[in-house]
Amino acid sequence: MAWMPTRGLIARDLRVAVEEKEILKGIDLTVEPGRVHALMGPNGSGKSTLAFTLAGHPGYQVLGGSATLDGEELLDLAPDKRAKAGLFLSFQYPAAIPGVSVANFIRSARQAVRPDDLTPAKFRKLVFDKLDTLDMDPAFLGRYVNDGFSGGEKKRLEMLQLAILAPKYAILDETDSGLDVDALQSVGKSVEALRASEEGAGIGFLVITHYPRILKHVPADVVHIMLDGRIVKSGGPELAEQIEREGYDGVRDEVAAARA
C-alpha cells in the first residue's frame, strides 16, 4: 500500500456537482505546509468550485472522494469548524460591510477562530505588529470593512486578516482579479512579508488564478493546470511560463494527444 501523507491540505479523487452538474471530476492535490501551489486554468475549469468546496460552501454537492487538513476530514465539518481547523479563504470579490470597522471585524474574526487566546493588550500589539509587517497605515483600522475600498485595498485587508488569523493553509481565489500592476505588486509583497514572518513561515498556500502574472509576485513551488474539472498537468514555475507563451491550447493539445 502506497504511503499517504497526513500533513497537508489534501484532496483525493474529489468529485463535486453544482445544481446536479458535475464540475470537479476527480481532483488529487496536496498542498504541503510552507509551500506555495498555484492552480491555473481558464474560466469555467472548476478552480473556484474547488476553493468553495474546501471552505464548505453549501451550494456545492460532494459526490465522492475526500478532503483532509493535516489528517482531519474537512467534508464532515461546518465552514466555521474548517476555519478553526486552520483553513483560510481569500475571496475573489470581498464584500463591503458598512458600519463595521476593520478593527472590530478582525477582532471578531480572531475570537471566532481562536477564542480568548490573547488578552486585549496582546491582541492590540499583534495587530500593530502585522500592520508594520505589511506596511499598512494604522488608519485602516478605523475604516468600515471594504466600504469605498479600492480593489488593492480590499486585497490588502484580506492579507491583514490572513496575518491576524495565522491559519495553517490559505486559499487565495483569483486574488489578482481586477488589480492594476501596483496593487498586484503590493499584494505580492504582503504575502512574501507574511511568509518571512515567524507565524507565517509554515502556511501552505493554494493560489488560484487564470493569469500567470500574480506568480511573478508570489512565486510558486508547484504549478497545476486544471481543464474541465481535472488537474491535467503539474510542474514547476516553468509551467506558468509556458501558459504565458502559449495559452492553455498547448496543454489541451498535450492532453488530447496522450488520450489518443
Rounded-to-integer distance, Cα 104 and Cα 148, Å: 17
Q: Is 28 a residue whose pLDDT tops 50? A: yes
Pair 169, 69: CB distance under 8 Å: yes
Q: Is residue 1 part of a domain?
A: no
Rounded-to-integer distance, Cα 127 and Cα 142, Å: 13
Residue 125 has what pLDDT?
94
Confidence of residue 3 (pLDDT cuts 50, 70, 90): very low
Pair 94, 158: CB distance under 8 Å: yes
Q: Is residue 210 part of a domain?
A: yes
Q: Which CATH number goes with the domain that contains 134?
A: 3.40.50.300
Q: What is the mean pLDDT of residues 56-84?
A: 95
Q: Is residue 246 part of a domain?
A: yes
Tell me the per-residue pLDDT of 103-157, one tens digit each, with 9 for 90 and over: 999 999 999 998 878 888 999 999 999 998 888 899 999 999 999 998 888 888 9
Q: Is 42 a residue whose pLDDT tops 70? A: yes
Q: Is 4 a residue whose pLDDT tops 70? A: no
Residue 174 has what pLDDT?
85
Residue numbers of the domain that contains 246: 9-259
Among 15-29, 131-145, 154-168, which range has the highest average pLDDT? 15-29
Q: Is residue 3 part of a domain?
A: no
Which is higher by pLDDT, 192 or 36?
36
Cell numbers representing residue 247 in the block: 495559452
Domain count, the chain: 1
Q: Please list the residues that pair with 207 across neighbouring strands.
A: 38, 172
Q: Is residue 2 part of a domain?
A: no
Q: Is 168 a residue whose pLDDT tops 50? A: yes
Confidence of residue 91 (pLDDT cuts 50, 70, 90): confident
Which is higher by pLDDT, 89 or 183?
89
Rounded-to-integer distance, Cα 2 and Cα 173, Å: 31
Confidence of residue 5 (pLDDT cuts 50, 70, 90): low
Q: Is residue 80 part of a domain?
A: yes
List Cβ neighbours of 2 (8 Å cut-off, separation of 6 or more): none
Nearest CA to 252 out of 243, 244, 14 is that of 243
Q: Is residue 175 part of a domain?
A: yes
Confidence of residue 253 (pLDDT cuts 50, 70, 90): confident
Q: Is residue 133 part of a domain?
A: yes
